[in-house]
Amino acid sequence: MTLPHFFDIINLMENTKKIENYEIMLAQANALFANEKNLLSNLSNASALLKMTLPNSVFTGFYLFNGEELLLGPFQGGVSCVHIKLGKGVCGESAQNRETMIVADVTKHANYIACDSAAMSEIVVPMIKDGKLVGVLDLDSRLTDDYDAIDQEYLEKFVAVLIEKSYWNLDMFGVEK
């Protein structure tokens, strides 16, 4: 066996394990949110479930859109930025473009907002309900290049479950919708 082939096998094994972990997380999310519609409770438990599933995370949380900017919602991690304008930082870019963004190395991203010096890579998934932006899921990792297409696929599925299972009344966050 050649060395490059060996590394291909290792990568395949790591990806298989990652997919298995995400499948378990999605099953847990469906069970967790099956009988609970409260948005605050579900966002809080969602951030905890993500933190438990993704051990390299230094931040797992949500920013909610108030019609003008993103406001910090439930999260797991250190003290974080509270207000993010559309187009600013990875969260603001993802929200403005309504597309998932993966940043392999945040130190090389020109529009990065540094909230935690331990964050080295980031993925942000926009949250769209009935065609309207309601927020973003934001994950930061202590490792560079920690997120890929597998993470994107499963985190987008996770957001879809959360959106479907929760009652989206953002009044409790001071968000006028």
CA angle 54, 33, 174 (to 5 degrees): 90
Query: What pLDDT digit, counting tens, does each position of 56-102 carry?
Result: 999 999 999 999 999 999 999 998 999 999 999 999 999 999 999 99
Are 14 and 103 within 8 A, CB to CB?
no
Single-letter amino acid code for the residue at 47: S
The interaxial angle of helices 149-165 and 3-33, nearest 10 deg, is 0
pTM of the model: 0.88
CB neighbour burial string for 1-16, b if at least 16 within 10 angstroms, e if fewer: eeeeeeeeeeeeeeee
**Structural domains of the chain, ranges and CATH numbers in brackets:** 3-173 (3.30.450.40)
Give Cβ neighbours of residue 120 (< 8 Å, ≥ 6 apart): 105, 106, 107, 140, 141, 142, 143, 144, 146
Query: What pLDDT digit, counting tens, does each position of 101-146 carry?
Result: 999 999 898 877 777 778 999 999 999 999 999 999 999 999 999 9
